[in-house]
Amino acid sequence: MLLLASLAMSTQSPTKTIITVGTAPASPYSQAVKVGKLIYLSGSLAQDASGAITSKGDVKGQTTRVIERMRELLLKSGSSLEQVVAVTVYLKSASDFAAMNEVYGPFWPKDPPTRTTVVTDLVLPDALVEISMVAAPQGADRTVIHPASWVKSPNPYSYAIRTGDTVFLSGLVSRNGRDNSVVGGDINAQTAVVLDNASELLKAAGLTLDNVVSSRIYLPDGAAFQQMNAIYRKYFTSAPPARATVIAGLAGSQYVVEITLVASTAAKSVVSDGRAANPNLSAAIRAGNQVYVSGMLGNTPETKGDVGAQTRETLSRIKTALTAAGCTPADVYDSVVYLTDVKNFAAMNDAYRPFFERDFPARATIQTGLVAAEGLVEIMVTAGCAAR
């Protein structure tokens, strides 16, 4: 049942603290942002002090370097690798999945964080892997959620972790949780399996799909978009979560969809941006003090072919949703930028920078396809806002 009233919340926006180790990035993002009881770490590459990629051609060396860099940030943020609750791994090549896992797993010998792994192109040509993280501060609760009848994942991640009022789910593919066997089928069948599994995980946490506030969907084939939507709508019949859907490769070729969800026990309300309602997603969802904004696009006849203009229009639409939720751009602490071509990175940054001005959110920027044929950029953000 949708809760329209807010739970007890602070009358001020959660404190947003920028965390930096070494030199601050030249691009408009912060290495890490601490807000409330969570810490968001930007997508990191295997760079040295000069910014050059290390261990060229070696995904094991790059994965190790990335996690070691992020461990430094976590320690400075008052956290640790053991307190990480969610990880997203962007791999340049699916063939590197096993090698990445080989060095990734030992960093978490027990109760690894949830994880999503997708295949994308990265901003720097020599980069083979990019990793972003969400962590809880040292001493905060961090509870692994695992249905009693499920076996552990064969890969180094937990299926769901709860901290505070937020539950993070791993990127789910069409697999049987009871024996880890692949459940084949077309996009209709696999979408249903993924969301049935998500429902079972949430039930183990005492929640339902009604508690889901944010969704990220990865499709290897954009032609499956509308079929996926038809199944997805059956599971989110009202107040659907904020959502971004992009075209990206998956670690296993047998899968045709991967879905990552975030749920909250806080009171949930739909935020409208003034445009016609979309049956597949809400423009934004407010849960307590947190606002989850859907991936926005800025492709119009006037912005066709111009990534700078599309970025500005995208951010204008994000601002409308933030304002409707009682937030400002300064309240944004995490973002993901999906570019159809990483060659547009600098032009996107030129338009992105003045929107936030300073105290930039954490950010991952990767190359994916978009479901909007003429879209060049899609941006999804999360903010922490004062009570209304």
Query: Taking the CA atoms of the chain, what radius of gyration do you get in angstroms?
Result: 19
| % of the chain at pLDDT higher than 90 | 93
pLDDT at 12: 61
pLDDT at 279: 96
Angle made by CA atoms 212, 163, 388, in degrees to the nearest 5: 60
In the structure, what pLDDT confidence band is assigned to residue 14 with cuts at 50, 70 and 90?
confident
In the structure, what pLDDT confidence band is assigned to residue 7 with cuts at 50, 70 and 90?
very low
Angle made by CA atoms 378, 315, 121, in degrees to the nearest 5: 30
Q: Is the pLDDT of residue 87 over 50?
A: yes
In the structure, what pLDDT confidence band is assigned to residue 10 with cuts at 50, 70 and 90?
very low
Q: Give me the number of domains the chain comprises.
A: 3
pLDDT at 386: 77
- Domain limits at 195? 141-265
In the structure, what pLDDT confidence band is assigned to residue 26 with cuts at 50, 70 and 90?
very high
Q: Is the pLDDT of residue 231 over 70?
A: yes
CATH number at residue 381: 3.30.1330.40
Cβ contact 181:172 at 8 Å: no
Residues 145 and 260 occupy one common structural domain? yes
Q: Is the pLDDT of residue 8 over 50?
A: no
Burial class (CB in 10 A: 0-12, 13-18, 19+), 251: buried
Residues 57 and 89 occupy one common structural domain? yes
Is there a domain that residue 282 lies in?
Answer: no
Q: Is the pLDDT of residue 28 over 50?
A: yes
Q: What is the pLDDT of residues 139-198, one digit of tens each?
A: 999 999 999 999 999 999 999 999 999 999 999 999 999 999 999 999 999 999 999 999
Residue 349 is inside which H or E element, if any? helix 345-356
Is there a domain that residue 251 lies in?
Answer: yes
Cβ contact 99:155 at 8 Å: no
Residues 260 and 294 occupy one common structural domain? no
Residue 269 is inside which H or E element, if any? strand 268-271
CA-based nearest residue to 211, from 262, 173, 259: 262
Q: What is the pLDDT of residues 40-73, one digit of tens each?
A: 999 999 999 899 999 999 999 999 999 999 999 9
Q: Is the pLDDT of residue 6 over 50?
A: no
Q: Within 10 Å of residue 385's Cβ, how many Cβ atoms?
A: 22
- Tokens standing for 307? 């990534």
Residues 111 and 212 occupy one common structural domain? no
Is there a domain that residue 6 lies in?
Answer: no
pLDDT at 1: 36
Q: What is the pLDDT of residues 235-260, one digit of tens each?
A: 999 999 999 999 999 999 999 999 99
Q: What is the pLDDT of residues 271-322, one digit of tens each?
A: 999 999 999 999 999 999 999 999 999 999 999 999 999 999 999 999 999 9
Is there a domain that residue 20 lies in?
Answer: no
d(CA 382, CA 306): 25
Residues 162 and 258 occupy one common structural domain? yes
Cβ contact 332:356 at 8 Å: yes
| % of the chain at pLDDT higher than 70 | 96
Q: What's the length of the chain? A: 388
d(CA 175, CA 255): 9
Q: Please report, for residues 50, 71, 317, the alpha-carbon distance to residue 218 in angstroms, rounded to integers and kept in the order given.
A: 33, 27, 23
DSSP state of 6: -
Residues 134 and 211 occupy one common structural domain? no
Domain end call among 265, 299, 334: 265
Residues 216 and 307 occupy one common structural domain? no
186/3: higher pLDDT: 186
Residues 53 and 126 occupy one common structural domain? yes
69/386: higher pLDDT: 69
> Whole-model pTM?
0.95
Q: Is the pLDDT of residue 388 over 70?
A: no
pLDDT at 387: 66
